[in-house]
Structure 1
Amino acid sequence: MRILIVCSSGISTSIMVQSMLEHALDDEYIEAISIGKLPILIEKFDIVLVAPQISFMYDAIKEQCVNAKTECFLINNVVYGSMDGFSTMQSVREYMKNKAIKIEHNKKVIHMALFCMSGLSSYILKDLIVEEAKKQGYLLECDAFAVSKIYSNYNDYDIYVLGPQVFYMSENIRDLIHNKPIYIIDTKDYGCMNVEEILGCIITNLQEYRIIED
């Protein structure tokens, strides 16, 4: 986690940084700056901590953080006054933990139908795609079918993915669904089970149809 602390000049926050570093983990980086440098560095950090003496600027700073997709946290006045690095680190970790839980709960579940000739290769591929999606932070539910079952299994999916051997069925599927994306997997990607590339194309299609946000 990358933590940026801002105050009016950066002097008092430098003292707080030293206190926080005594309780930081190996993957926690902390830096202090003056408020004037915030626009330059904000996107490089996971969270911005605002010193209480510039709390009157908190709303403006928070707006910058929202635009940069960075979290914003106002340090408690008592904690800051005592330069309590331990309590500050605990509060930041708890804040980020709760934020992550909230984001996870609010994620949209992507429902995907995957079709191939007999269903055998798609069953193997679907597990790999679901696992790759999980690594990338997406909640993906995938059902795999033989293309012969397409007419009984086409409802309520966000995207319809076809193996290259059944690309000829794309127009049939388009006639069955309305305003949903169809993606035909590249032959080379399918043959080597390049799930990273396949998932990337699936996500791009979903974003173009505004089924998920980019």
Structure 2
Amino acid sequence: MKTIMLVCSAGMSTSLLVTKMEKAAEEKGLEAKIFAVAEAEAANHLDEIDVLLLGPQVRFLEGNMKKKLEPKGIPLAVINSVDYGMMKGDKVLDQALDLMK
């Protein structure tokens, strides 16, 4: 079971993407816990995740989050803007899985 956290401004725009990612994981036969939080809540969940994906609108958090996650060995990336905008759950899931290899 892998745990993937998505972070956006309010945690709402990524909730549809989470649903699409969950569907893509199910189709691949993967067990994954995928959830979205607002940027203000992100720090509360850093000990429970395997990977963190930032929504394009909060890419400015990348440097600060890397400082917190690198010592824990947790990968982080900004979600591709096109995949995010088109809500391509399968592509974003693949991005998360690639980071965890």
Moved over 6 A (4+): none
Q: Match of 2:98?
A: 204
What is the match of residue 66 of structure 2? Answer: 174
Q: Which amino acid aligns with 1:116?
A: C
The answer to whether the aligner puts 1:184 opposite 2:78 as a matched pair is yes
Runs of 5+ in structure 1 lacking a partner?
1-108, 208-214
Q: Counterpart of 2:41?
A: 149
Tell me the equivalent position of 2:17: 125
Counterpart in the other structure of 1:162: 54
Q: What does 1:57-68 align with in structure 2 at a 5 Å threshold?
A: none
Distance in 1 (CA, whole Å) between partners of 2:13 and 2:86 is 11
Percent pairwise identity: 23
Shift of 1:151: 2.2
Separation in 2, partners of 1:189, 1:138: 20
Decide whether the 8 Å contact of 2:18 with 2:34 is kept in 1: yes
Counterpart of 1:118 in 2: which secondary structure?
coil
Structure having the higher Rg: 1
TM (normalized to structure 1)? 0.44
What is the TM-score of this pair, normalised by structure 2?
Answer: 0.90
1:182 CA drift (Å) = 0.5
- Cα deviation for residue 142 of structure 1 reads 1.2
Partner SS for 1:183: strand
Report the CA distance between 1:149 and its aligned residue. Answer: 1.4
Shift, 1:160, TM fit: 0.5
Which secondary structure state, in structure 2, belongs to the residue aligned with residue 119 of structure 1? coil
1:125-148 CA-to-partner distances (Å, cap 9, x unmatched) read: 111101111101211101210012
In structure 2, what is the Cα distance between the partners aligned to 1:149 and 1:159?
A: 16
Aligned-partner Cα distance in 2 for 1:170–1:145: 15
Any residues of structure 2 matched to 1:32-51 within 5 Å, and which?
A: none
Amino acid at match of 2:63: E
What SS class does the counterpart of residue 141 from structure 1 fall into? strand
Structure 2, unpaired ranges of 5+? none
Cα deviation code 1:25-54 (max 9, x no counterpart): xxxxxxxxxxxxxxxxxxxxxxxxxxxxxx
